[in-house]
């Protein structure tokens, strides 16, 4: 087979043995079999350069010329078609990864600029999805385990390297990355399917408070247009109508917030999770499915926090609640019970039903992918398989017990998170400064008018209908203390406005706030450092945000006059 070798530029040729990998970028003399293992000087060599016949692009991060030669020889003798590139430093490799894509990276743990497992940690921080094989000359099971936990797909000792082992490691690393991506897509697909099952009930839950708001607004409109109303009770009724409408709006906000959190595709780090809240959210999301069919008994109390992603754990319980509800269909009522139990290091969640139970044959296969006892229009057979995958991904366990005629019990076990005994000090919010200049951009005219009315008494508010209007306003050079911009807008969205600000008005970068209704998580993921304001929000939340942002900016510029 053929190998095409590219050498990345190195600032210090002395990292490699003299005459082997210095500034001439020559690994060795060109072999007689025609395999090119040398390159042009950096000034003359286009990079990256892919061989037309190569199937895989591999980056080797290795500062030892002899080891690099050996890896290249092993790959040459393997069955893979490889386009191989070298670099001796992790910092150089990270720069190369910004410019080109690789099918796999081979990473040595002893590099000049970083050593040990910190090498994997830094690599994964910038390249979370690139298949990674760690190479090391040290035989240490603890280091191998840590590297895998930090995100390496494979771990190989250099003494055990060979053409077959190296090729297998590269292929396995790539397959594991593909498997992880497919798993995430299946989890999201199952979550969206659950949302479809819950949609009718959620619409009902929203319609109730929405009716309250609509009727109260109609009553307010009638009062405003009736100048002859001298009824002394009218003022009291109007105050009640306003309070009821605010309460109903809060309920709708909570419903949408739970739905939004459940639908979100998780790409954020895990956090401390309150399981009592997870149970409560899953119960509310599924309530319309079981409310008229069976009883729901909750025996859940406060538990120590676990480390995880709330929406994934909510998805597990939503699936278990829906399965229990379906098990009770066709019977005369029934009971679903959820309870918790705490041991020394674990929290156990139990979901029980007193339905018909499962036969031993069904029980043995209940977690197999695509196994289902339901009709083709009622289930895919992926729900419980994904639930177990999610729980095991959290370091936990999920099992089931059932006796025909006596119901079923599903047990979720999760490790208790290790947290600091001293919690971090509460975040302080700066006091509201004086009158400020605020730019609000949105493509919804009604929202702009409401925010102008809400903020106009205390601040000087400029509104922009859309992203292009916001950029036009900012391009005048006019001073603003804070910019509040909607994320999703036609033509020019909030992300593009923020990029324009970073380039042309950098003094506003730290005072830029993105508003979002929660439907553009992929865009927000690319802007992790931008402040956010989730819709819907209330007056207090808005004023707190303005006080915090402008309070932090007091030392940067004087207040607006």
Average pLDDT score over the chain: 76
pLDDT tens across 290-305, in order? 877 788 999 998 899 9
**The pLDDT value given to residue 399:** 93
Q: pLDDT at position 462, please?
A: 94
Q: Write down the pLDDT at residue 7.
A: 47
**CATH C-level class of 3-161:** alpha beta
For residue 38, give the DSSP letter: B
| Reported confidence tier of residue 504, pLDDT bands at 50, 70, 90 | very high
Beta bridge partners of 105: 59, 132
For residues 337 and 250, the model is more confident at 337
Phi-psi region of 357 (alpha: psi -120 to 50; beta: other; left: phi over 0): left
Mean pLDDT of 259-279: 74
Residues 434-438, mean pLDDT to the nearest whole number: 84
pLDDT at 202: 64
Give residue limits of the domains in the chain: 3-161, 187-265, 270-424, 437-552
pLDDT at 275 over 90: yes
Work out the pLDDT band at 430, boundaries 50, 70, 90.
very low
Q: Cβ contacts of residue 470 below 8 Å, gap of 6+?
A: 439, 441, 464, 483, 485, 492, 497
pLDDT: is 11 or 496 the higher one?
496
Higher pLDDT, 398 or 5: 398
Residue 239 confidence class, pLDDT cut points 50, 70, 90: confident
By percentage, how much of the chain surpasses pLDDT 70? Answer: 73
Q: Model confidence over 330-353: pLDDT tens digits? A: 666 789 999 999 988 899 999 999
pLDDT tens readout for residues 302-330: 899 999 888 788 888 988 998 888 888 76
Preceding amide of 210 cis, omega within 30:
no
Q: Predicted confidence band at 30 (pLDDT cuts at 50, 70, 90)?
A: very low
pLDDT at 110: 86
pLDDT reading at 48 higher than 50: no
User: Closest Cα to residue 400, out of 300, 320, 456, 488?
Assistant: 320
- The answer to whether 482 touches 557, Cβ cutoff 8 Å, is no
CA angle 23, 96, 494 (to 5 degrees): 150
pLDDT score for 551: 74
> Taking 80 as the threshold, does the pLDDT of residue 2 lie above it?
no
Q: Output b/e per residue, 435-459; b: 16+ Cβ within 10 A.
A: ebbbbbbbbeeeebeebeeebeeeb
Under the banding of pLDDT at 50, 70 and 90, the label for residue 525 is low
Q: Which of 193-197, 348-352, 515-519 has the highest mean pLDDT?
A: 348-352
pLDDT at 73: 86
Q: Report the distance separating Cα 378 and Cα 366, nearest Å.
A: 16
pLDDT the model gives residue 37: 33
pLDDT beyond 50 at 432: no
Q: What is the pLDDT of residues 357-377, one digit of tens each?
A: 999 998 888 888 767 776 555
Q: How confident is the model at residue 17 (pLDDT cuts 50, 70, 90)?
A: very low
Specify the DSSP class assigned to residue 481.
S
Q: Where does residue 84 rank: exposed (0-12), middle (13-18), buried (19+ CB within 10 A)?
A: buried
| CATH, domain range 270-424 | 3.30.565.10
pLDDT: which is higher, 237 or 28 = 237
> pLDDT tens digit string along 441-465?
999 888 898 888 888 888 899 999 9
pLDDT value at residue 193: 67
Nearest by Cα to 488 from 443, 537, 545, 439:
443
Residues 438 and 542 sit within 8 Å (Cβ to Cβ)? no
Same fold for the pair 3-161 and 437-552: yes
More confident residue, 268 or 541: 541
Read off the pLDDT of each residue in 225-250 and give the average, rounded to a whole number: 69
Report the pLDDT averaged over residues 152-158.
85
pLDDT in tens, 391-423: 988 889 999 999 898 899 999 999 998 765 434
What is the topology classification, in CATH, of domain 437-552?
Rossmann fold (3.40.50)
Q: How many CB atoms lie within 10 A of CB 142?
A: 8
Question: For residues 539 and 476, which has the higher predicted lDDT (pLDDT)?
Answer: 476
């Amino acid at each position: 087979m053929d190998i095409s070798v590219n050498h990345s530029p190195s600032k210090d040729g002395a990292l490699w043995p003299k005459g082997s990998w210095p500034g001439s970028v020559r690994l060795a003399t060109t072999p007689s079999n025609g395999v090119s293992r040398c390159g042009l000087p950096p000034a003359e060599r286009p990079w990256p350069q892919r061989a037309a016949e190569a199937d895989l692009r591999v980056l080797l991060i290795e500062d030892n010329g002899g080891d690099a030669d050996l890896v290249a020889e092993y790959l040459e003798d393997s069955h893979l078609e490889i386009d191989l590139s070298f670099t001796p430093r992790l910092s150089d490799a990270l720069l190369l990864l910004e410019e080109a894509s690789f099918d796999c990276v081979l990473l040595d743990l002893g590099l000049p600029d970083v050593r040990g497992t910190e090498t994997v940690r830094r690599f994964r921080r910038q390249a979370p999805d690139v298949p990674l094989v760690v190479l090391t000359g040290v035989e240490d099971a603890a280091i191998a385990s840590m590297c895998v936990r930090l995100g390496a797909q494979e771990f190989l000792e250099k003494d055990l390297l060979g053409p077959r082992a190296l090729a297998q490691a590269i292929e396995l690393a790539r397959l594991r990355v593909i498997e992880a991506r497919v798993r995430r897509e299946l989890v999201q697909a199952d979550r969206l399917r659950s949302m479809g099952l819950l949609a009718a009930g959620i619409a009902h839950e929203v319609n109730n408070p929405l009716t309250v708001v609509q009727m109260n607004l109609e009553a307010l409109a009638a009062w405003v247009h009736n100048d002859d109303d001298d009824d002394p009770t009218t003022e009291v009724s109007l105050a009640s109508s306003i309070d009821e409408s605010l309460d109903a709006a809060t309920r709708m906000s909570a419903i949408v917030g739970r739905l939004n959190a459940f639908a979100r595709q998780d790409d954020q780090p895990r956090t401390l999770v309150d399981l009592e809240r997870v149970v409560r959210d899953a119960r509310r999301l599924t309530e319309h499915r079981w409310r008229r069919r069976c009883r729901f008994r909750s025996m859940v109390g406060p538990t120590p926090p676990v480390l995880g992603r709330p929406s994934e754990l909510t998805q597990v319980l939503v699936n278990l609640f829906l399965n229990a509800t379906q098990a009770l269909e066709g019977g005369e009522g029934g009971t679903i019970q959820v309870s918790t139990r705490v041991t020394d290091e674990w929290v156990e969640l139990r979901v029980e039903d007193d339905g018909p139970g499962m036969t031993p044959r069904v029980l043995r296969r209940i977690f197999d992918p695509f196994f289902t006892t339901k009709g083709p229009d009622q289930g895919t057979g992926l729900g419980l398989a994904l639930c177990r995958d999610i729980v095991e991904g959290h370091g936990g366990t999920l099992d089931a017990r059932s006796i025909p005629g006596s119901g079923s019990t599903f047990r979720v076990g999760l490790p208790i998170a290790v947290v600091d005994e001293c919690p971090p000090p509460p975040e302080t919010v700066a006091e509201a400064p004086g009158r400020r200049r605020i730019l609000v951009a949105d493509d919804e005219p009604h929202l702009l008018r409401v925010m102008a009315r809400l903020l106009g008494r205390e601040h000087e508010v400029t509104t922009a209908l859309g992203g292009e209007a916001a950029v036009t306003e900012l391009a005048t050079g006019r001073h603003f203390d804070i910019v509040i911009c909607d994320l999703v807008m036609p033509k020019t969205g909030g992300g593009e406005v923020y990029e324009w600000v970073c380039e042309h008005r950098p003094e506003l970068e730290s005072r830029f706030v993105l508003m979002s209704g929660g439907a553009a998580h992929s865009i927000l993921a690319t802007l992790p450092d931008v402040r956010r304001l989730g819709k819907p929000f209330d007056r207090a939340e808005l004023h707190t945000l303005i006080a915090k942002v402008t309070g932090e900016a007091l030392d940067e510029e004087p207040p607006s006059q």
